[in-house]
Amino acid sequence: MKHVARKRFGQNFLHDRFVLDDITAAIGPQADDAMVEIGPGLGAMTEQLLRHLKQMHVVELDRDLIVRLEKTFNPAKLTIHSGDALKFDFAQIPVPAGQKLRIVGNLPYNISSPLLFHLADFAPLVQDQHFMLQKEVVERMVAEPGSKAYGRLSVMLQWRYKMSLLFIVPPTAFDPPPKVESAIVRMIPVAERLACDQATLEAVVMKAFSQRRKVIRNCLAGMFTEEQIKAAGIDPTLRPETVGLEQYVALANLLKAPQ
């Protein structure tokens, strides 16, 4: 019986074999990897990965899909976690000594940003992440200062990860086809990220980009004086999208420093 994709779960199922092969090649699964897939859907990517892995884990919210996965895959090879990836504790996935998690998935467009921020909390436990996302979201993730796509998502994720857009996936690769192009992104946690309090950095970045057409002096008014902005190595007349990660970290550390 054909599963009807559900809009509330943001379901678009990847079926193009060539794209599946390209994604598998980009991931490069090894037999003993501690692999977990978010939102396996009908199991097309799961099947591909299990050709290379001894076993893997998946996190799925849709009960009908869980039943289908249980009927399709050997439980000795596939462990299914029923639940919402936005609330899932990825630290509970067992990992062999000396290894880290490898996380993959075709992430629902409607929850992609909050899910990426949730996953960032587990970055120290992760070797790498490979995700299919809306192309526009990936472009924002990897954007450099000065780009129109550069913003809060860019800064906060680049503080945690080194990221690269690997390739574009057309709507025709999915059923049903989405109205936008998708892209594959590789995310590798930064071994030693810039020292900074996360909540403070988040507050600074959020305020800076809340009025991105204004100069940063005006955006951060009430949080920093012009002298403090200069002390962080920033020209107060610049716009927020031209200020780099290191400078935002400097601002956050300035705010967090004892007065």
The annotation status of 21 as a binding-site residue, yes or no, is no
Does 218 carry a binding-site annotation?
A: no
Query: Which residue from 167, 166, 156 is spatially nearest to 190, judged by alpha carbons?
Result: 156
CA 218/CA 215 separation, integer angstroms: 6
CA atoms within a 13 Å half-sphere pointing along the CA-CB vector of 5:
16
CB atoms within 10 A of CB 217: 17
Q: Is 254 annotated as a binding residue?
A: no
Asked if residue 74 belongs to a known ligand binding site, the reply is no
Burial (CB count <10 Å: 0-12, 13-18, 19+), residue 39 = buried
DSSP-derived 3-state class of residue 103: strand
SS3 state at 63: helix
**Whole-angstrom Cα distance, residue 107 to residue 111?**
8
Are the C-beta atoms of residues 208 and 243 closer than 8 Å to each other? Answer: yes
Phi-psi region of 146 (alpha: psi -120 to 50; beta: other; left: phi over 0): left
Is position 84 annotated in a ligand binding site?
Answer: yes
Q: Is 139 annotated as a binding residue?
A: no
DSSP 8-state secondary structure symbol assigned to residue 259: -
User: CA nearest 125: which of 160, 76, 165, 84?
Assistant: 160
SS3 105: strand
Contact by Cβ (8 Å): 76, 14: no
Q: Which residues line the annotated binding site for S-adenosyl-L-methionine?
A: 12, 14, 39, 60, 84, 106
Q: Which residues line the annotated binding site?
A: 12, 14, 39, 60, 84, 106
